[in-house]
Every structure is written in structure tokens, then in C-alpha cells.
Amino acid sequence: MSLFALLEKRQAINRPVRIGVIGAGTFSSAFLNQVRRVPGMKVVCIADLAGKSERACIAAGWPEAAVEMLIPHPVSTKVPPLER
């Protein structure tokens, strides 16, 4: 059975493969452009330190409403000092 057929089965039972994308560079943008057309795959989150996630999704043709659901709210990258 082909990978595409397996993904179609997952789509039919409403159990898509959930995907988190790290980074919004060239490779991720190309992936985001294609994953919209593949059944059985669902991007659930995109994270990028440079803040390019939203632009990458919109450039790949994602609707803005869908983009807002994928981009996590900014979090602090500062690590608190260890208590000794």
C-alpha cells in the first residue's frame, strides 16, 4: 500500500498525521505549500525564532484565518538562573 493511500485512509477516519513545523525558511515554506494539498496531514503549529512563520504561510497560499491558529503566541526565550 502506498503512503498516499495510507494518508487517504487517515483522512477518511478523521485521524490525520499531526505535524509541527520548526523554522520558516526555504524548506519549510516549500513543505507548507505542498502539505495543504495532501490528504491525511494536518499542520498544527509553526514555530520560528525569526518571526517569519506568518509570512511563510501566507506566501504558501494559506488563508489568514488558518495561519492565526498555527502560530503560537510569543514566549520568553530567557532561561531563569538555577537556584543553588
Is residue 23 predicted with pLDDT exceeding 70?
Answer: yes
- More confident: 67 or 14: 14
Mean pLDDT of 9-25: 90
| Dihedral sign from CA coordinates of 23, 7, 38, 68 | negative
What's the mean pLDDT in 1-25? 91
pLDDT at 84 over 60: no
The reported pLDDT for the residue numbered 9 is 95
Residue of 71, 20, 64, 13 lying closest to 43 (CA atoms): 20
Grid cell listed for 5: 493511500
Assess whether pLDDT exceeds 60 at residue 79: no
